[in-house]
Amino acid sequence: MAVSPSRQIALEVLRRVEAEGAYASDVLHAELNASVKPADAALATEITMGVLRWRRLLDFLLERALKKPIERLDLPVALALRMGTYQLRFLEKIPARAAVNESVELVKMARKTSAASLVNAVLRKMASEAKAPAENYLPPNLSPAERLGILHSHPTWMVDRWLSQMGETATVAFLEANNRAPRLSCALHDVSRRDEVIRGLEAAGMRVEPGQLLSAAFAVSGGSPVRTEAFRAGQISIQDEASQAIPLLLGVRAGDRVLDLCAAPGGKTPALMRAAGGKAFVVASDRHTHRLRAMQTQFKRLSLAGAQLVELDAMQSLPFRGDFDRILVDAPCSGTGTLARHPEIRWRLRPEQLRESREQQSRMLRMALAHLARGSRLVYSTCSIEPEENEEVIAEVLESTPSIRRMPVGEAARTLEPFLSPGVDSSTLFTNDGYFRTSPHAHHTDGFFAALLENI
C-alpha cells in the first residue's frame, strides 16, 4: 500500500521538530513547495499541527493501550501512532481504515517493520474508542490543572499558573484558542490597491475576510498567499494582526531617526521604514548574520531600501553615537502568545526560562533606553502573555530609570486609532494601566504585549 505524500511530509516534519528542535511552520514552508498538490499540502499541515497541539492528550490515550510511556518507543513509531490517533479522533472525513493502514505503512517505510503489528493493534483500539469523550478515561481525583492539561493538551505547570492569573473561565478559553488553527492574516502595504489585490487572491481560489482589528489587514483561507502574484510583487505580507499593530504604536513621523533593535525576521521593520520615509535614518539590528540576510531578501521583495542593517548583541552597550526618536524593542521571549501558531513551544518551554528571559529582556530595554532622545518614544513588545516577560520587566526598568515614564493610556490608544477597522474601539486593546494587549480568545490574534515609554 502506498503512503500518501501528505502523511510522508507530516512524518518528516514531526521528526525534525522532535529530533532537531526545528519549528514546524518553517519546515512545512520548505517542504510544501509548488510540486505539492494543494490538497496534500492542506492535509500535511492539518496532521502536523494537530499532532503538535494535541500531543499530550494523544499520548495519554495511547499509553492506556501501550501500558508504557510512549517515549520508550522509537521516534518514527511514536509519531506514526500519534498521527493515526489524531486522524481517528479529530478528522472525521478520514476513513478509520486509511488512518490505521497508512500509519502502519509509515512505520514500515521508516524501517521499523517489527513494530508494524503493534501500531496496527493499538490504532485499531484507538479507532474503537474514537467517539468516546476523552474525559471518560481520566483517573479520578486529578487536580484542576492536571485535568485541564490533559483534556486541552498543555503542560500542567502552564495551566496551573494561568488558572492563578486568569481564573478558570479565561484559562479554558485561552487553551481552546491555542488548539484551533489561527487565522492566516496578511498585511496590505498599499490600501489604495485593496480591491485589486483581493480580486487577485479570489481569482487564485482563496477566500478573503476583513481584518479583526486593522483596516490594512485581512485574512485568507483555502490556499497559500505565498504562491500569489500579490505576494511576489510585494503588495502583501503574511503577518498576524497583533504583530502588524506593534510598529504602528511607535507613531513614527517622516524624517525620524528609528531603531528596530531586535528586528529579525523583519516583519515589523517595513512599517517603520515607510512611516519614516526614504531619506530617514532607520537602523534594523540582529545578532545573527543569516537573519539579517533574510531581511535583505524581504526588503527586496517589498521594494524597500535605505535601512541600515547592523549585526549586534542587544544586551551589550549599543554602538551608536547619537540618539533615536523612535525605538522598537520587540524582545525575544517565550512565545506563549503564539501557542496556536507554534504549538511545539508548549512542550519545550520550562518555568525557569521565564526568569532567564526577564533578565535578558530587562538588559536589552536598558541598553535601548540609553539611546532614546528626550521627548521621544520607545515601544517594548513581546508575543508572550507571561508577567515575568512583560509588566515585571517594565516595572523593574522604570524603577531604576526615573527619566522614563509610561505613556497615558488615552495617548497610547489615540496613536493606534487611525489604523483600526471601523467599529473597533481602541480602548479594548489596552489595559487600564496603559499596556497594549491582545489575546487569541478575545481578539482572534496572537497574544501580544506592548508598553509605550517616553523619555521626559
Rounded CA gap, 70 and 81, in Å? 9
User: Helical H runs in 21-115?
Assistant: 24-31, 38-53, 55-66, 75-90, 96-109
Q: Which residues pair with 449 in a beta bridge?
A: 382, 437
Phi/psi region, residue 376 (left: phi>0; alpha: psi -120 to 50; beta: rest), is beta
The three cell numbers locating residue 327: 525605538
Decide if 440 contacts 174 (C-beta within 8 A). Answer: yes
| The three cell numbers locating residue 409 | 493610556
Looking from the CA of 398 toward its CB, the CA atoms found within 13 Å total 18
CA 260/CA 16 separation, integer angstroms: 31
Element counts in the chain: helices (H) and strands (E): 20, 12
Helix residue ranges per DSSP H, 155-288: 156-166, 168-178, 194-203, 229-232, 241-248, 269-276
* Planar angle of CA 331, 165, 170, nearest 5 degrees: 100
Strands 258-260 and 324-330: parallel
**CA–CA dist 158, 135 (Å, integer):** 20
Terminal Cα-to-Cα distance of the chain (whole angstroms): 70
The residues carrying an active-site annotation are 383
User: CA-to-CA distance for 411 and 423, rounded, in angstroms?
Assistant: 19
